Amino acid sequence: STSSLLSAEKDKSTASKGSTTEGASKRQEGTAETPKQKLLDLIGNMKVEVSYRKKLQELKASKNNKQDMNALEGPDREGPQRTTEGIQRGKPLNPELVKAASAVASSLPLNKKKTESELLAQLRRHEETTDKQKKGETINIRNVISEMAVKKQSPALRGVRISISLELDDDGQRIRPERFSSQSFDSRSLKGGKRLNIFTKASTEPEHALKTVSSPTIWDLEFAKEIAAITAQPPRNGFEEMIQWTKEGILWEFPIDNEVGMDDGAEFHEHIFLDKHLEGFPKDGPIRHFMELVICGLSKNPYLSVKQKIEHIEWFEKYFEEKKEFLQEI
Amino acid sequence: MAAAALGWALRAARQVLPSPCPGQVRSYYVDWRMLRDVKRRRLAYEYADERLRINAIRKNTILPKELQEVADKEIAALPRDSCPTRIRNRCVLTSRPRGVRRRWRLSRIVFRHFADHAQVSGVQRAMW
């Protein structure tokens, strides 16, 4: 299959290139070339008549270039073995590769640390691209086929065909031809197609993150209110009127939530087991009896919040504290 | 609490607080009786909890009677208008004390007026 062909090509290329005596400058030129080469490949692909074989050859050529890069970096070791090892490893770099890179850097006359870091960066990039290629090869071929299919028909005919296909097929069976046609559409659309990687992604940094004042001043609030009052247009239709009413609080929000103002986030056990609030009361006597009844009633009350219940109990505590001397007399 | 009551009284004084709605704005309560009723409602809301608690002490058989008598005196000492029984459900538009339908808070005359002009939703002249 194609993968075996490519591996064979790899071996040939590494064997032929072998050890080279290029310096860091050549390597840098090489790094600049591969994106350019990629661009050229893509521009070449965009031509009208492209045969399948030529595409494969171009893919192989791009692969070979990458292999050359790898070969340049490690002339001492065996090329294909290392690359396969690297690919098998995945994301973290092979320590052998790292050692090789450091050896190469030391052997070169120029700035050693710089070259070593550059080499390692190159290695990482290379591994990333090889991984991507390994995973994305089938998809590329699919794109190629779809592109070719589009080019064979004229756009007018294609539009007619798709419309006919949409008309004829009913709801359930529309999926298949539409998917194919949508794929062909995508290859022409803005977002589909191979990424050229010409532009670096503009990092949307939160530059204005800490620009706001800690608390808005009264003047800011007034200004905001003024703006809101000026820009508030009278509602154009019933929907906008209802929206306005909902914002004001005149109209409830649908679907109706029965616990709109009531949910205080307390669990059921906080509502029911109120014994722990009874610690301030005497253990015996009519007061305790009375308070237990109070707690029994409060635990059955679903309309009060836990805070309100605790406030009730605390009020009773305070009240009985005040009346303590009076109670002692009795 | 006294300051709040004073502020409220100053602001009220027969006037309704300015409302943001663009419709018809009535700047005064209909009559003084309505204003008094409004005051009673506000006080009843403020003292509701206390009244409830003191009544809980008064109306039980467990606590000693002396304590209940003290509670009696305490509840009598609260302002008279804080009692919810003094609230009268008056008509909202005319302040009529009698003939008020609770669902619409309107007196029968006003209700009939609006219903005939089809301004009360879901209300129709009965015929059977």
Query: Does A157 have pLDDT greater than 70?
Result: no
Distance from CA of A277 to the nearest CA of B (A): 17
Q: If you measure CA to CA, which chain A residue comes closest to B20?
A: A248
Question: Is the Cβ pair B67, A323 closer than 8 Å?
Answer: yes
Between the CA of residue B14 and those of A100, A175, A324, what are the distances in Å?
93, 71, 45
How many domains does chain B fold into? 2
pLDDT at A54: 66
Higher-pLDDT residue of A51, B41: B41
Mean pLDDT of B101-123: 95
Q: For A103-123, what is each residue's pLDDT tens digit? A: 777 777 667 778 778 878 888
Pair of tokens at residue A87: 């690919």
Where do runs of H (alpha helix) occur along chain A? Answer: 2-17, 24-45, 52-73, 79-89, 95-107, 112-152, 155-168, 175-188, 218-231, 238-248, 268-272, 286-299, 306-322, 324-329
Which CATH number does the domain housing residue B113 bear?
4.10.830.10
ipTM value for the complex:
0.80
**Is A291 exposed, middle or buried (CB count within 10 Å of its CB: 0-12, 13-18, 19+)?**
buried
Mean pLDDT of B14-39: 79
Q: If you measure CA to CA, which chain B residue comes closest to A294?
A: B56
Summary mean pLDDT of chain A: 71
Inside any domain, residue B112: yes
CA pair distance A69, A8, nearest whole angstrom: 17
Mean pLDDT of B15-24: 62
Residues B84 and B96 in one domain: no
Residues B66 and B99 in one domain: no
Which pTM does this prediction carry? 0.47
Q: For A46-79, what is each residue's pLDDT tens digit? A: 655 545 666 667 677 666 666 655 545 544 444 4
Give me the domain span that covers residue B65: 30-88
Query: Does A255 have pLDDT greater than 60?
Result: yes
Residues 6+ apart with CB under 8 A from A196: A38, A39, A42
Domain ranges of chain A: 95-136, 268-329
Question: Is the Cβ pair A326, B66 closer than 8 Å?
Answer: yes
- Nearest by CB to B56, which of A294, A326, A327? A294
CA pair distance A273, A276, nearest whole angstrom: 7
CA pair distance A164, A166, nearest whole angstrom: 5
Judged by average pLDDT, the poorest of A36-45, A74-83, A249-258, B24-33 is A74-83
SS3 (DSSP) at A85:
helix
Which CATH number does the domain housing residue B81 bear?
1.10.287.1480
Residues B36 and B61 in one domain: yes
Question: Is the Cβ pair A290, B49 closer than 8 Å?
Answer: no
- Nearest by CB to B62, which of A286, A315, A330? A286
pLDDT at A159: 47
CA pair distance B125, B116, nearest whole angstrom: 8
Between the CA of residue A193 and those of A33, A306, A314, what are the distances in Å?
22, 60, 71
Query: Does A326 have pLDDT greater than 70?
Result: yes
Residues B83 and B94 in one domain: no
pLDDT at B109: 97
Inside any domain, residue B15: no
Q: Which residues of B touch A322 (CB under 8 A)?
A: none
Residues B67 and B41 in one domain: yes
Residues B60 and B109 in one domain: no
CA pair distance A320, A316, nearest whole angstrom: 6
Judged by average pLDDT, the poorest of A67-71, B2-6, B27-31 is A67-71
**Is A9 exposed, middle or buried (CB count within 10 Å of its CB: 0-12, 13-18, 19+)?**
middle
Phi-psi region of B18 (alpha: psi -120 to 50; beta: other; left: phi over 0): beta
Q: Which residues of A touch B53 (CB under 8 A)?
A: 312, 315-316, 319
